[in-house]
Amino acid sequence: MNKITWQHPGGKFRRLGSHSCSESELIAIILGSGTKGKSAVKISQELIDKYGTINDLVGLSLKDLMKIKGLKEVKATKLAALFEVANRIIKGLERK
């Protein structure tokens, strides 16, 4: 049986489910695209390599996020907004 190689983790997510994706692949899906010469997967892997897990990324400033080459203001803002949404969901669940 041939193993499928995914060009972008979005296809993997759709076909195999969210549980099949690594943290960096999930971030790459949120980023959507990379920059010239650097894919979203590579950018997201650098984030994980530099800061640790997704949990370690929560609360980072835009300035810290943008230390990763290829992660400019708009993409850093998307990630920061995603982390804030996650925080609000958790706080809402904790109140129940």
Domains located in the chain, CATH noted: 9-95 (1.10.150)
- For tokens 């979005």, the residue is 10
List, in order, residues 6 or more apart from 9 with CB less than 8 Å away.
21, 25, 26, 28, 29, 41
Percent of the chain with pLDDT over 90: 75
Residues of the chain where predicted confidence (pLDDT) is lower than 70:
1-4, 6
| Dist CA 63 CA 80 (whole Å) | 11
- In terms of Cβ atoms closer than 10 Å to its own Cβ (0-12, 13-18, 19+), residue 59 is exposed
DSSP-assigned beta bridge partners for residue 38 = 35
What's residue 3's pLDDT?
63
What's residue 96's pLDDT?
78
pLDDT tens for 19-46 read: 999 999 999 999 999 999 899 999 999 9
What's residue 8's pLDDT?
82
